[in-house]
Amino acid sequence: MRLLTTVLLTLTLAAGSVQAKRGPDNKLQAFTTLKAGLKSADFQARSMAYQGIARNKRDKQLKTLLKDGTQDPQWVVRAGVARAYMYLRDNKWKRVIQDGLINRTLDPREVLPALDAQSNGSAVKEIISAIADKEHERQNAIIDGAVARNHSRLGLLVVGALNSKDDLVRSTGMRGLKQLKPVLHSAHLQLVAKKLGRRADVIGTLVDIANKALLTRPWSYLKALKPGKKAPKLQHAVVMARARYGDRSMAKAVLKIASTTQGSEQIKALEAYKKIAGKADGTKLKALLDGEPDKRLIFAVYEILAIIGDRSMSGQAQKLADGTNVDLRPTGVYYLGRIGGGAQIGRMHRYLADGLREVRLAAARVLAWIASPISVRPLRESLDVETDLEIRRELATALAAIKHRSALDALVLVQRDSDAVLRRRVVHALAESGERSVRQGLRIALNDNDKAVRVEAVRGFLMNDKANAVSVWKRSFSWLPRGTMISLTAEFRDSFESFVELALRCKRIRIREEALEALAMLPKKQAPLLRKVLARTNDPDLRIRVLNRLVKLLGKRASTEIKSMALSSGSARVRVAAIRHMGLLRRDKEARKMLTNMLNDTNQSVRIAAALTFVGG
């Protein structure tokens, strides 16, 4: 028994000795591979090699090698050196990053990814430090690059810059804030509003952004703005911006503004109130007519009363419509038409030929609300002779509101109008119709010189012509405005999955990146679609982007895809990208064995990537 115990102990110690020997041997091989990689002709390989040698702190040549690396002519390599210094907690990384950001030959978007290894606070501090340096003139390029990259820390960067005591940094931060768009940067806008929602300059800018955006865009960040009682003008601006987006909680505040202001400010308040008006406020609205109101105020009040269905002013409106005061006739015409509805159609048709511009405009708006097929011919005839641009737009809007084949035929005839806004309304109506007969009109719109018109045409094909939607969608990739794909995904949701997949397969990097952003809006479809694309494409760049997003989404659960691509016989770039993700699988025995085997791979880049990952980089 004693002999058996001795034998087992000897075998155990021997096995432990072999294992201990095997570990250091592999690690030594990895460091040898990394050091040899410093002379690689592949820039990315050299970058990884510099990151890897930093893990061997006992190397007496380490400091000299890293210092030499800071002089490498390729930024990709210097970025690797910066990451090496970050690992060593050596502040020399800051100088490397600063030099990259102010380098005129580099796009800041190439430099900023090197900061991803740093915490948000540290990264923002260094970017602001580069902006504050007055020895160069790259401030605008740096903030523009940060906005274009749209990293998750962009909002923190803008807040940090706006909080700076340096005038140059603050002005640069304001430049960045003005570039934010609700459709692309809603989270950043929310953060800025939350952190700086009491500053007058920030409030004014955020309100301007909301007012310039389309009404379908996210606007919730406006709720975080707190102008304070000492800034009534800003208070008014925030209230009306929120009302413009349909925030009914602002109704009383908007009416208060309307009752305490005069002239243009009062009219703007009533214009904002139209979207949130309620029947209970009829009495307060009528009170605004006390005294000697001007024609604009009278029209605004009567318009809102008509919208909420208050018929109490019918007698007075009749007098205005039939009276000799030409300034007030449009008010009576609009109110009677809106309250009377279908019974007033004939009368509104006659008003389309009235000598007063405002009367014709009011009649067109009423007919747009009634939206009767009976009005198609009068509206079309008026479009033929009308020269006033605003009225022509309202006539087109009225035709677009009529859901009838004859109205669509009339719209097709005017879709080549010289006014882009009118064309946009026409094509939007064609897209919404769902009629096969308008598809030729949509094809014509695809060649329009206005991008917004072309976007409406694309949307029309996506909604109504599945047979041709794919070819039209692919064709649009060469000009599709940034943010459009995200808007369409928000509108169509899961039914848009296949079109997002097509965008992912596009050769244009910008389209691919936006498709990945749009895909995040389909949480249930995201992982399956990414796996599907990964399995069906051989495009190295696409495979890398999709794998990166999949790993970000699933983490270790993407181990099958990581291992498969690491062993792929295709592009070395793809294998390297997958190997770098194998650091997530440290406890996976199969992954560890694969890394060990790759230390002897025939491709130097693969060996270096495996060595870096093996040593924990």
pLDDT at 225: 94
120 contacts 156 by C-beta, under 8 angstroms: yes
| Residue-level pLDDT at 24 | 57
Q: Tell me the average confidence (pLDDT) per consecutive run of 10 residues in the chain, 617 residues long.
A: 44 42 72 93 95 92 94 96 95 96 94 94 96 94 95 96 96 97 92 96 95 80 91 90 91 90 90 87 87 89 92 92 90 94 93 94 96 95 94 95 91 90 93 85 93 95 90 95 92 93 93 93 92 92 94 93 87 93 90 92 94 90
Interatomic CA distance for residues 156 and 168, integer angstroms? 17
The Cα angle at residue 118 between residues 114 and 121, in degrees rounded to 5: 125
Q: How many domains does the chain have?
A: 1
Please state, in angstroms and rounded to a whole number, the distance separating the CA atoms of residues 218 and 190. 10
Please report whether residue 537 resides in a domain. Answer: no
Residue 392, number of CB atoms within 10 A of its CB? 19
Which phi and psi (to 5°) does residue 6 adopt? Answer: -65, -45
Give the per-residue pLDDT at 81: 96
Instruction: Let me know if residue 128 belongs to a domain.
Output: yes
pLDDT of residue 515: 94
Q: What is the pLDDT of residue 19?
A: 41
Contacts of 598 (CB under 8 A, 6+ apart): 566, 579, 606, 607, 609, 610
User: For residue 204, is it within any domain?
Assistant: yes
Rounded CA gap, 233 and 401, in Å?
37
- Report the distance separating Cα 69 and Cα 52, nearest Å: 13
Contact 246, 240 (CB under 8 A): no
Instruction: Confirm whether 242 is domain-assigned.
Output: no
Instruction: Show the CA angle centred on residue 245, arms to residues 273 and 150, nearest 5°.
Output: 155
Q: Does residue 417 sit within a domain?
A: no
In a domain, 185, yes or no: yes
Contacts of 135 (CB under 8 A, 6+ apart): 102
- The distance of Cα 109 from the centroid of its chain, to the nearest Å, equals 17
Q: 167-178 and 120-132 helices cross at what angle (nearest 10)?
A: 110
**What's the rounded Cα separation, in Å, for the pair 150 and 153?**
8
448: tokens are: 């329009």
The residue count of the chain comes to: 617
Torsional class of 555: left (φ above 0), alpha (ψ -120 to 50), beta (otherwise): left
116 in a domain, yes or no?
yes
Q: Is residue 179 part of a domain?
A: yes
DSSP 15-59: HHHHHHHHHHHHHHHHHHHHHHGGG-S-HHHHHHHHHHHTT-TT-
Per the structure, the complete domain to which residue 159 belongs is given by 91-226
- Residue 478: phi and psi, rounded to 5, are -75, -15
**pLDDT score, position 14:** 44
Whole-model pTM: value is 0.86
Residue 530 and residue 550 in contact, taking contact as beta carbons nearer than 8 Å:
yes
Residue 175 near residue 143 (C-beta atoms within 8 A): yes
Q: How far apart are CA 234 and CA 230, in angstroms?
A: 9
Spatial separation of the C-alpha atoms in residues 611 and 538, rounded to whole Å: 26
Q: How far apart are CA 298 and CA 293, in angstroms?
A: 6
Distance of CA 521 to the CA centre of its chain: 11
The residues near 329 (Cβ < 8 Å, ≥ 6 apart) are: 320, 321, 323, 356, 358, 359
Cα–Cα dist 272/239, whole Å: 9
